[in-house]
Amino acid sequence: MREVRVFAPATVANVAVGFDILGFAINRPGDEIVARLNDSFSGVRIVVITGTGDKVLPTEVEKNTAGMAALRLLQHLGEEGRGIELEIHKKMPFGSGLGSSAASAAGATVAVNELLGAPLTRESLLYFTVLGEEVADGSFHADNVAPCLVGGITLIRSNDSLDVHHLPVPTNLHVAVVHPEIEILTRDARAVLSDTVLLKTAIQQMGSLASFITALYTNDLPLLGRSLRDHIIEPQRKKLIPGFDQVQAVALQRGALGCSISGAGPSIFALCDSGYLAQAVGQGMQAVFQDSGIESQVYVSPINQRGVEIIEVID
């Protein structure tokens, strides 16, 4: 009964200027996925789910992000006759804007691929991971799953064709992420968005995205800070997060390069030019929520450039 255990990290998607096309991985939190061969049946079974609190995740394979990702990979490899058990150990909050469903899907594909002798590259696993993630919010997008799989900062030129590219990570770039204990589902966060954008606003956003990418390639952190301005999504979604404007203001006052909503929220991220500053910024952001009576967690991390990690293989 060969067994593989992996750790799949949380991710920050959109990164202010790149709705559905930018994302990066952080060190913690994350999910652990265990995949195990079992010759007593064929197909995929989810045998254990932990860490869900009062939430109930489906164990039906087709309704579970990890299960669907593993199943589609198994079918692609022509290994439907193999029996694979999955354990899903959730170690990050649901509806947090930190890519919880993406982490489970990415962890499952890496674990199953390794279990079967690693026939595919990480990049080749992306399609099956996105199919799993699609179960959670009904949208085919890779801004969480791509950085979770391969680490670093990723740009998705096209979600339809999964044309994904690694971007450089500037020296000393760190992030503080604050997760207030409120839940925002991705479906609900998408529902508040308008289908139309003013030409002037679109031009502003294109300029910010272009200069953000330039800053990564030139290691120009001041330019990166000037670029982290979301003219389209943040103004529409921030009303879903109590105290967002105050949290953002404190982060910038304490020296963050930029601050915006992580994914669909409610988590808020702030990019900083050092780990020490990120700690101070994270504490300041958390204090705003605390003053409003909202509990929160702070995660401080460099950009995680490893992605999903294989932590144990038992033969």
pLDDT tens column, 271-301: 999 999 999 999 999 999 999 999 999 999 9
**pLDDT value of residue 188:** 80
pLDDT at 56 over 90: no
pLDDT at 18 over 80: yes
Query: Are 155 and 233 members of one domain?
Result: no
99 is in an annotated binding site: yes
Name the β-bridge partners of 261: 268
CATH assignment at residue 139: 3.30.230.10
Could you tell me the residue range of the domain that residue 125 belongs to?
3-167+305-314
128 is in an annotated binding site: no
Task: Give CA–CA dist 43/180, Å, rounded.
Answer: 38
pLDDT at 1 over 80: no
**pLDDT value of residue 176:** 98
Task: Give CA–CA dist 165/155, Å, rounded.
Answer: 5
Query: Are 49 and 156 members of one domain?
Result: yes
95 is in an annotated binding site: yes
Helices (H), 140-274: 145-150, 186-191, 199-218, 221-227, 234-237, 244-253
Query: Are 37 and 160 members of one domain?
Result: yes
CATH assignment at residue 256: 3.30.70.890
pLDDT tens column, 84-103: 999 999 998 888 999 999 99
pLDDT at 22 over 80: yes
Query: Are 181 and 269 members of one domain?
Result: yes
Would strands 43-50 and 83-89 be described as parallel, antiparallel, or unpaired?
A: parallel
Task: Give CA–CA dist 9/310, Å, rounded.
Answer: 12
**pLDDT value of residue 28:** 95
97 is in an annotated binding site: yes
Task: Average the pLDDT over 68-80 and give the result.
Answer: 95
**pLDDT value of residue 187:** 75
**pLDDT value of residue 254:** 98
96 is in an annotated binding site: yes
101 is in an annotated binding site: yes
